[in-house]
Amino acid sequence: MNELAHSCIKRVYENKDYGFFKERSSLKPQYYDKLIELANILCKKILILNTENDPAIELLFYFRDYIKNEFHIKYKSLLKISKVADLFVFQHEFSVENRDEEGLTPVLEGFGAEPYISSQYKVAEKITEFLYTYHLQKLELTEIDEVVWGLKIPETSIFGTQMTVENALFRDLYGICEEKTK
């Protein structure tokens, strides 16, 4: 496991420093406004998915569609930044209309760590360079899915049964930010 992720998980969940989690989640990072400005320069359409007190910032980048005859593909990239641990990850995605007469779904979708088109690559490269200047560390998709042994996920969670790095540092599954005290 990434050392920064490990130390933050230990601090918050083993040492029960929920105040740290709540404080970091409530703060607007110093780079935030510049990040949004850069994102808007690099991509014509972005969507900000997080709210003010979330432990993560999530930006969805939409890229141009590729259409040739009846072939239609859409591209987007998701950037997730943990405010709790100063970690980030990119997930690149595509979706294609399923033109197969025997198809069971109208859309075929996929995602991965590697960009599918050059514009996804350029956005990821520029945003990564920018975040490195603020000393954030990049995680791979496989690293955010790593299971954190010994931590239980709340039974009411829609995020599965295992606590992962993503669940621990990019989401507030325990409702820490909602608590009035601490």
The full set of domain ranges for the chain reads 3-176
For residue 81, what pLDDT band results from cuts at 50, 70 and 90?
very high
Q: In the predicted model, what is the mean pLDDT of residues 85-106?
A: 94
pLDDT at 156 over 70: no
Q: 2-6, 97-101, 154-158 — which is least confidently predicted? A: 154-158
How far is the C-alpha of 76 from the C-alpha of 115, rounded, in Å?
9
Tell me the pairing of strands 87-97 and 71-82.
Answer: antiparallel
| pLDDT at residue 70, rounded to an integer | 85
Note the pTM of the prediction, 2 decimals: 0.91
Spatial contact of 76 and 60, defined as CB atoms under 8 Å apart:
yes
Spatial contact of 95 and 60, defined as CB atoms under 8 Å apart:
no
pLDDT at 181 over 50: no
Any residues with CB less than 8 A from the CB of 5 and at least 6 apart, and which?
A: 85, 87, 139, 143, 165, 168, 169
Tell me the pairing of strands 56-62 and 45-48.
Answer: antiparallel
